[in-house]
Structure 1
Amino acid sequence: MTTPAKKRLFLLDAYALIFRGYYAFIKNPRINSKGQDTSAVMGFMNSLFEVIKKEKPDHLAVCFDKGGSAERVEMYEAYKANRDATPEAIKISVPIIQEILTAMHIPVIEKMGVEADDIIGTLAKQAEKQNYQVFMVTPDKDFGQLVSENIFMYKPARMGNGVEIWGIPEIQERFGVEHPTQVIDYLGMMGDASDNIPGLPGVGDKTAKKFIAQFGSLEGLLANTDQLKGKMKEKIIANAELGILSKKLATIFIDCDVTFDEDDFELSKPNIEKVVELFTDLEFRRLTEQFIKMFNEGSPENNGLTTTAAPTKNTKEEKPVAGAGQYSLFGNDTSKTAIKAKDFQGFLNHENTPHFYQNITSNYAIKLFVEKLLQQPSVCFDTETTSLNPLEAKLVGIAFSWEKQKGYYIPIPEDDEKANKTLALLLPFFTHEKIEKIGQNLKYDIKVLAQYNIPVNGALFDTMLAHYVINPDMRHNMDVLAETYLNYQPIKIEELIGKGRKQISMREVPLAQQTEYAVEDADITYQLKRFFEAELNDANNGKLFREIEIPLLRVLAKMETEGIKIDKAFLTQLSKELEKDILQLEKTIYQEADEEFNIASPKQLGDILFGKLKLVEKPKKTRTGQFSTAEDVLAELADKHKIINDVLAWRGLVKLKNTYVDALPKQIEATTGRVHTDYMQTVAATGRLSSNNPNLQNIPIRTERGKLVRKAFVPRDENYVLLAADYSQIELRIIAALSQEETMIEAFKRGEDIHASTAAKVFNVPLEEVTREQRSNAKTVNFGIIYGVSAFGLSNQTNLSRAEAKELIENYYKTYPKLRDYIDDQIEFARENGYVSTVMGRRRYLKDINAKNHVVRSAAERNAVNAPIQGSAADIIKVAMIKIQEELDKNNFRSKMLLQVHDELVFDIHKEELEVLQEMIKTAMQNAFSLSVPLDVDLGIGQNWLEAH
Structure 2
Amino acid sequence: MKSNNKLIILDGNSLAHRAFYALPLLTNRKGVFTNAAYGFTTMLLKILKAERPEYVVVAFDKGKTFRHEQFEAYKGHRKATPQELKPQFPLIWQILDALRIAAVQLEGYEADDLIGTIARKAEQAGLMTMIVTGDRDALQLVTARTKALITRKGISNLDVFDRTIIQEKYGLEPLQLRDVKGLMGDASDNIPGIPGIGEKTAVKLVQEFGSIENLLKNLDGLSNRKMAEKIQPYREQALLSKELGTINCAVPLEIEFDLFRWQGPDYSALLEIFKELEFNSLLKDVLAEMKVGAAEPEAKAAELKVTYLSECREMLRLLENIKDEKISCYLALDQRDYLKAEILAIGVAWAGGNVGLNCGSLHASEIREILTALFGKHQQQLVTHDLKSCLVLAKKRGVEIKARGRDTMLAAYLLNPSAPNYELPTLSLEYLNKPLVPVEQPEEEVARAAQVIFKLDTILDKKLNETGMDKLYTDVELPLEEVLALMELQGVKLDKEQLLSMGQELAQGIESLTAEIYELAGEEFNINSPKQLGVILFEKLGLPPLKKTKTGYSTNAEVLEELAERHEVVAKILEYRQLVKLKSTYIDGLLALINPETGKVHTTFNQTITATGRLSSTEPNLQNIPIRLEAGRRLRKAFIPSTPDHLLLAADYSQIELRVLAHIAGDPGLKDAFIKDQDIHTRTASEVFGVPMDEVTKDMRRRAKAVNFGIVYGISDFGLSRDLGISRKEAQEYIALYFSRYPGVKKYIEEVIFHAREQGYVTTVLNRRRYLPDIFSSNRNIRGFGERAAMNTPIQGSAADIIKLAMLKVHQQLAEAGLKTVMLLQVHDELIFEVPKNELEKAQAIIQQAMENAYELQVPLKVDMKVGANWYDMEVLA
Please report the TM-score for the alignment, with normalisation by the length of structure 1: 0.76
Distance 1:553 1:537 in 2: 20
Match of 1:412 in 2: 359
Distance 2:471 2:395 in 1: 27
Paired AA for residue 463 in structure 2: E
1:711 shift after superposition: 1.0
Match of 2:328 in 1: 380
Match for 2:424 among 450, 469, 478? 478
Deviates more, 1:424-433 or 1:564-573: 424-433
Distance 1:880 1:769 in 2: 37
The within-5 A match list for 1:427-446 is 427-446=372-391
Q: Deviations over 1:778-807 (max 9, x none)?
A: 111100111211111111001211111111
Distance 2:704 2:458 in 1: 50
Q: Deviations over 1:737-794 (max 9, x none)?
A: 1111101110111111101110111011111111111111111110011121111111
User: Is 1:95 aligned to residue 87 of structure 2?
Assistant: no
Match for 1:621 among 547, 551, 554? 547
Match for 1:63 among 44, 60, 65? 60
Q: 3-state DSSP class of the match of 2:774?
A: coil
Superposition RMSD on alpha carbons, in Å? 4.9
User: Is 1:11 aligned to residue 9 of structure 2?
Assistant: yes
Match of 1:743 in 2: 669
* Structure 1 pair 380–86 and aligned structure 2 pair: CA distance change class (3 A): farther
* Structure 1 pair 371–623 and aligned structure 2 pair: CA distance change class (3 A): same
Paired AA for residue 333 in structure 2: T
Distance 1:787 1:355 in 2: 51
Distance 1:23 1:462 in 2: 40
Match of 2:347 in 1: 399
Match of 1:266 in 2: 259
* Structure 1 pair 49–801 and aligned structure 2 pair: CA distance change class (3 A): closer
Match of 1:531 in 2: 459
The within-5 A match list for 1:828-867 is 828-867=754-793
1:719 shift after superposition: 1.7
The within-5 A match list for 1:577-726 is 577-616=505-544, 619-624=545-550, 626-726=552-652
Q: 3-state DSSP class of the match of 1:938?
A: strand
Match of 2:836 in 1: 910
Match of 2:220 in 1: none
1:595 shift after superposition: 1.2
* Structure 1 pair 850–691 and aligned structure 2 pair: CA distance change class (3 A): same
The within-5 A match list for 1:455-470 is 455-470=400-415
Match for 2:124 among 109, 113, 129? 129
Match for 1:390 among 319, 332, 338? 338
Match for 1:255 among 212, 225, 248? 248
Q: Deviations over 1:28-50 (max 9, x none)?
A: 85435xx5556766776788899
Contact 1:64 1:108 (8 Å CA) reproduced: no
Contact 2:387 2:407 (8 Å CA) reproduced: yes
Q: Deviations over 1:792-825 (max 9, x none)?
A: 1111001211111111111111111111111001
1:948 shift after superposition: 3.5
1:357 shift after superposition: 3.5
User: Is 1:311 aligned to residue 304 of structure 2?
Assistant: no
* Structure 1 pair 266–564 and aligned structure 2 pair: CA distance change class (3 A): same
Paired AA for residue 469 in structure 1: L
Q: Deviations over 1:389-445 (max 9, x none)?
A: 0111111111122359x7321122456xx2312542553232112222222222112
Paired AA for residue 87 in structure 2: I
Distance 1:284 1:867 in 2: 24
* Structure 1 pair 76–31 and aligned structure 2 pair: CA distance change class (3 A): closer
Paired AA for residue 468 in structure 1: Y
Q: 3-state DSSP class of the match of 2:86?
A: helix
Match of 1:301 in 2: none
Match for 1:553 among 466, 481, 494? 481
Where structure 1 has 5 or more consecutive residues not aligned to the other structure, the ranges are 198-207, 224-236, 295-306, 320-352, 497-509
Distance 2:343 2:164 in 1: 53
* Structure 1 pair 613–522 and aligned structure 2 pair: CA distance change class (3 A): same
Q: Deviations over 1:658-715 (max 9, x none)?
A: 1101211111112322101111111110111111111111111111111001111111
Where structure 2 has 5 or more consecutive residues not aligned to the other structure, the ranges are 192-198, 211-226, 232-236, 288-292
* Structure 1 pair 364–119 and aligned structure 2 pair: CA distance change class (3 A): same
Q: Deviations over 1:92-143 (max 9, x none)?
A: 3323554787899976544678654554344323433344444546688986
* Structure 1 pair 772–168 and aligned structure 2 pair: CA distance change class (3 A): same
User: Is 1:875 aligned to residue 796 of structure 2?
Assistant: no
Q: Deviations over 1:845-885 (max 9, x none)?
A: 11132322211211111111011111100111011111112
Contact 1:848 1:860 (8 Å CA) reproduced: yes
Q: 3-state DSSP class of the match of 1:620?
A: coil
Paired AA for residue 515 in structure 1: E
Q: 3-state DSSP class of the match of 1:945?
A: coil
% identity of equivalent residues = 36
Paired AA for residue 461 in structure 1: R
The within-5 A match list for 1:15-164 is 15=13, 30-31=28-29, 36=32, 60-64=57-61, 86=82, 88=84, 90-98=85-93, 108-110=103-105, 116-117=111-112, 119-136=114-131, 146=141, 148-151=143-146
1:490 shift after superposition: 3.0
Match of 1:454 in 2: 399
Distance 1:794 1:657 in 2: 32
Distance 2:409 2:640 in 1: 33
Distance 2:392 2:250 in 1: 68
* Structure 1 pair 180–615 and aligned structure 2 pair: CA distance change class (3 A): same
Q: 3-state DSSP class of the match of 1:266?
A: helix
1:920 shift after superposition: 1.0
* Structure 1 pair 269–632 and aligned structure 2 pair: CA distance change class (3 A): closer
Contact 1:17 1:44 (8 Å CA) reproduced: yes
Contact 2:491 2:600 (8 Å CA) reproduced: yes
Q: Deviations over 1:495-546 (max 9, x none)?
A: x7xxxxxxxxxxxxx6xx2223332322333333233222212211111111
* Structure 1 pair 631–116 and aligned structure 2 pair: CA distance change class (3 A): farther
User: Is 1:576 aligned to residue 521 of structure 2?
Assistant: no
Distance 1:666 1:193 in 2: 63
Contact 1:123 1:259 (8 Å CA) reproduced: no
* Structure 1 pair 75–437 and aligned structure 2 pair: CA distance change class (3 A): same
Distance 1:560 1:192 in 2: 67
Match for 1:929 among 855, 858, 871? 855
Paired AA for residue 118 in structure 2: L
Contact 1:59 1:262 (8 Å CA) reproduced: no
Distance 1:17 1:27 in 2: 16
Paired AA for residue 678 in structure 1: T
1:367 shift after superposition: 4.0
Q: Deviations over 1:545-599 (max 9, x none)?
A: 1111111111111111111001111111111111111111111111111111111
* Structure 1 pair 27–708 and aligned structure 2 pair: CA distance change class (3 A): farther
Q: 3-state DSSP class of the match of 1:662?
A: helix
Paired AA for residue 409 in structure 2: M
Distance 2:408 2:82 in 1: 35
* Structure 1 pair 857–455 and aligned structure 2 pair: CA distance change class (3 A): same
Deviates more, 1:854-863 or 1:42-51: 42-51
Paired AA for residue 408 in structure 1: V
Paired AA for residue 828 in structure 1: F
1:888 shift after superposition: 3.1
Distance 1:774 1:144 in 2: 70
Contact 2:95 2:273 (8 Å CA) reproduced: no
Paired AA for residue 411 in structure 1: N
Deviates more, 1:123-132 or 1:925-934: 123-132
* Structure 1 pair 761–592 and aligned structure 2 pair: CA distance change class (3 A): same
